[in-house]
């Protein structure tokens, strides 16, 4: 089960990186970056369950917080309302 879940997480990271490279506009890349941070957080939780170490949960939480703040900051920064 854990192996299948890790394979699925890796495939989803590859697909998200494909969108991150290919995306036509900046917001496509921003959506891909946000999804990639969520995937990384999920991978850290799975890693904590594999090695049975609680500290990786803290790493996952801090990673999620930093990814969320970065996404919101970039999205607010590139909002051009006047054309």
Partner 1 sequence: MTVVGEILMLIGGIFLFLGSLGLVRMPDVYNRLQTGTKASTLGAMSIGLSAMFLLPGAVGKAVLLVVFIVLANPIASNTIGRSAYLSGIRLSEKSVSDAWGVQASSEAEMVEGAADDATSTGAAPEATDKKGA
Interface residue list for partner 1 (CB under 8 A): 1-2, 4-9, 11-13, 15-16, 18-19, 25, 27-28, 30-32, 34-35, 38-39, 41-42, 45-46, 48-49, 52, 54, 57-58, 60-61, 64-65, 68, 71-72, 75-76, 78-83
Angle between helices 2-22 and 26-51 (to 10 degrees): 160
Residue listed under structure tokens 């891909």: 32
**Shortest reach from residue 59's CB to partner 1, in Å:** 11
Q: Are 63 and 40 in contact (CB under 8 A)?
A: yes
**Shortest reach from residue 27's CB to partner 1, in Å:** 4
Task: Report the distance separating Cα 65 and Cα 81, nearest Å.
Answer: 27
């Amino acid at each position: 089960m854990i192996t299948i879940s890790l394979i699925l997480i890796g495939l989803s990271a590859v697909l998200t990186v494909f969108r991150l490279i290919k995306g036509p506009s900046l917001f496509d890349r921003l959506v891909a970056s946000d999804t990639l941070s969520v995937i990384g957080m999920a991978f850290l939780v799975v890693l904590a369950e594999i090695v049975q170490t609680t500290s990786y949960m803290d790493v996952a939480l801090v990673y999620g917080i930093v990814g969320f703040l970065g996404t919101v900051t970039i999205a607010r920064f590139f909002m051009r309302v006047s054309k």
